[in-house]
Amino acid sequence: MHKRIAVIGECMLEMNLNSDCRSHHSEPRLNAGLSFGGDTLNTALYMSRLGAKVDYVTALGDDHLSDWMLRQWRAEGIGCDLVKRETNASLGLYLIETDGRGERTFHYWRDRAPARRLLDSPQAAKQLFEQLQQFDAVYLSGISLAILSPYGRECLFDFLAKFRQGGGQVIFDGNYRPRLWGSETLTRKAYEQMLRLTDIALPTFEDEQLLFSDKDTNATLTRFRELGVAEIVLKLGGDGCLVVQQNHDPQLVPALKVVPLDTTAAGDSFNAGYLASRLAGNSAEDAAHIGHRLASTVIQHRGAIISKSAMPESPEVI
């Protein structure tokens, strides 16, 4: 029986601006057309492509671009029954500026995006949480937490505690974005509260250093263990990841060495490969290899979502 996972977050319209840092005379170039992306949506989509049963949980507007986005998600096999539609609202937008080394800078227009108000209505939140009880696992990120109102965030924490008590699995990717929070003290408190409710954590060491001033990976892993996280996958960029289960020693799983064109969605796609494999019953080490394989392919293409034809031939994960 396939495990079902609900992914909570925000998806926005995506535009891409390319520039080449190797030449001071190069003018930025805006790619034609629109795409879409968002950390949790990227993970949900790639998980679906790998055969996982995924539903996306968010709020969209009632405009034609929101209609278009929903059609794209359904075509990817993502369940959309839990996507809320808000009247007289439109989507958030982000622009990616990528330099000649594949490193990216993001520019956002998202302050009025409907996903920010997903849990602001007590009645709507109660209905959503009742629907989420049917899932085996819930996945969210630090961005999912950051965009919610303080009230919505506390409602989510209360639900996740009950969800775990009922046997559900909670999965969290820190994905720290300082501009979304405004206060490091508030962020650290929210992350610690979230980690106490987390079964599988997928942090990035660079983010942990930035937010918690961790001196080394041991500091990060120790904090996560003390907060009760049973399975930790600490992402180290091009060096791979450290996998820790229960009280076992960390195991380094190296990444594949490739030359990146655009590192957008590197961590999101790794998470997708890892989780699709783990939810299918594979070992953490095998899951990390699948995550690295997908991520190494994604970063050799521009944008968050690569074409289906560019997907790697992956080992069975279902």
Whether the pLDDT of residue 32 is over 60: the answer is: no
User: Catalytic: which of 120, 214, 268, 286?
Assistant: 268
- Give 186-228 pLDDT, tens digit per residue: 999 999 999 999 999 999 999 999 999 999 999 999 999 999 9
The pair phi, psi for residue 200, each rounded to 5°, is -125, 125
* pLDDT mean over 54-82: 96
CB count within 10 Å of CB 51 equals: 17
Strands of the sheet containing 83-85, edge to edge, are 83-85, 53-60, 4-8, 137-141, 169-173, 200-201, 231-235, 241-245, 251-253
Domain parsing of the chain, residue ranges:
4-310
20 noted as active-site residue: no
d(CA 84, CA 118): 8
Structure tokens at 161: 């505690």
- Give dist(CA 137, CA 170) in Å, integer: 6
Cα gap 48→77, rounded to integer Å: 6
Closest Cα partner for 273 from 252, 251, 296, 257?
Answer: 296
The pTM of the full predicted model, rounded to 2 decimals, is 0.91
For 134-165, the pLDDT digits (tens) are: 999 999 999 999 999 999 999 999 999 999 99
Q: Is the pLDDT of residue 111 over 90?
A: no
For the segment(s) 4-310, the CATH number from 3.20.20.70, 3.40.50.300, 3.40.50.720, 3.40.1190.20 is 3.40.1190.20
